[in-house]
Amino acid sequence: MPRHKIKINGVKFYNNIVVSPMCQYSSQNGCPTEWHYHHLRNLIETGAGSLIIESTAVSKIGRITNNDMCLYNIRHLNAHSKLIKYLKKIRNIPIIIQLSHSGRKGSAEIPFYKKNIPLKGKHAWKTFGPSNISRDANWPKPLEMKISDIKKVIKQFEYSSCLAFKAGYDGVEIHMAHGYLLHQFCSPISNKRSDVYGLNDSKYEVHKKIIRSIKNILPKKKLIGARVTGDDHLPKGIKTKDCINLLDILKKEGLNYACISSGGIIPKTNMEFCPGYRLKMSNYIKKNSKVLIRTSGLINNHKILKKADKLLDLIAIGRKLVNDKYFLIKDKKYKNLVVTPKQYKYCID
């Protein structure tokens, strides 16, 4: 039987299915547009127990593209407050926002127009990262971050989190995976620093300070999560034991849950895909850490969903819920945990 009514730090989850965050590259001046209202309404109506809002930049240069969602000023705060009110009226489930900084991966063309292409010309910006190493042959080298740049980014995560709680989000999920800046700091592929922010003694100083600063301002009944990398799928990259070490450190700072991801530090890795491709690794991490564990990755049929339910605390689903809005309603195990719209009583099997 799927777990339901999970409570994490006072936040009640309707069931253990989470809508995975999905970047839409459809914001205007960093604010959600009509597209977001349509897209997120559909996802909130799937019956999932909680929803994660797409990767949202903590600063202008922390965006991937010029159309990214942002949360770093009062205009953004007002736009997010309005969105949250709208969504919570439809279904009052926990809504968490994923906060990110792109680092060397920023200043890019919108991927559904041009994939893995850096911007050129007046709309481009200079990026930075832990070291002066580009993400791919056709990408510019980022500037190596000074200590003052790192301190500024830590403050930006804190400020965006503060705005997120004010807007009405139930939690923040800090993006430390998928080649974003905080993944760049975790991975030996992109971080060659020899100072305290390097990987020599694997203390994960930036990550630790970010979680600590958010914990210091965390209101009651709100959550701090992180999306982390369980494996870079590269010979010299992050291994599962590194991820367990990172989670041990972050747990002490107040992390409530982690979503295990993998790959993405460079555009092409040795990652292999099949239904539930991250379940085994995530279950191993769950057994060896004290943080609640979620994962995603082609959990797209009822058999694999049942398996995931046994192995993990939370299950994230992205593409399947876009493709088949009533996937959960059609699952016998979830049927009673999900509200079928009465108007569709004779429409959905």
Instruction: Return residues touching ligand FMN (CB under 6 A).
Output: 20-23, 54-55, 98, 175, 178, 227, 296-299, 317-320
Residue 229 C-beta: closest distance to ligand FMN, Å: 11
Nearer to ligand FMN, 54 or 158 (CB): 54
Phi, psi for residue 156 in degrees, rounded to 5: -65, -40
| CA 168 to chain CA centroid, nearest Å | 18
Smaller CB distance to ligand FMN: residue 43 or 234?
A: 43
Instruction: Tell the smallest beta-carbon distance from residue 55 to ligand FMN (Å).
Output: 3
Closest CA to 177 of 18, 297, 61: 297
> H or E element: which one contains 49?
none
| Minimum separation from the CB atom of position 25 to ligand FMN (A) | 9
CB 224 within 8 Å of CB 211 = yes
Alpha helices (H) along the chain: 34-44, 74-90, 147-167, 181-186, 205-217, 240-253, 279-287, 302-311, 319-323, 332-335
Residues 6+ away with beta carbon under 8 Å from 129: 103, 104, 142, 143, 144, 145, 181, 184, 190
Our CB check for ligand FMN shows the closer of 114 and 120 to be 114
> Identity (one letter) of the amino acid at 149?
D
Name the residue whose CB lies closest to ligand FMN.
Answer: 318
Tell me the closest approach of the beta carbon of residue 67 to ligand FMN, in angstroms: 13
Closer Cβ to ligand FMN, 22 or 124, answer by number: 22
The enclosing H or E element of 6 equals: strand 4-8
**In the complex, minimum distance from the CB of residue 292 to ligand FMN, in angstroms, rounded to a whole number:** 17
The span from the CA of 209 to the CA of 192, in Å, is 19
CB of 206 to ligand FMN, least distance (A): 18
DSSP symbol at 291: S
34 beta partners: none
Q: Measured from the CB atom, is 102 or 296 closer to ligand FMN?
A: 296
Cα–Cα separations (whole angstroms), residue 295 to 16, 102, 140, 277: 11, 21, 32, 10
Query: SS3 of 139, please?
Result: coil
Helical (H) or strand (E) element with 88: helix 74-90
CB of 161 to ligand FMN, least distance (A): 17
**Would you say 25 or 284 has its CB closer to ligand FMN?**
25
Closer CB to ligand FMN, 54 or 242, in the complex: 54
What are the backbone angles phi and psi of residue 213, rounded to the nearest 5°? -70, -30
Comparing CB distances to ligand FMN, the nearer of 131 and 181 is 181
Which stretch of DSSP H or E encloses residue 15?
Answer: strand 11-15
Q: How far is the CB of 102 from ligand FMN (least distance, A)?
A: 11
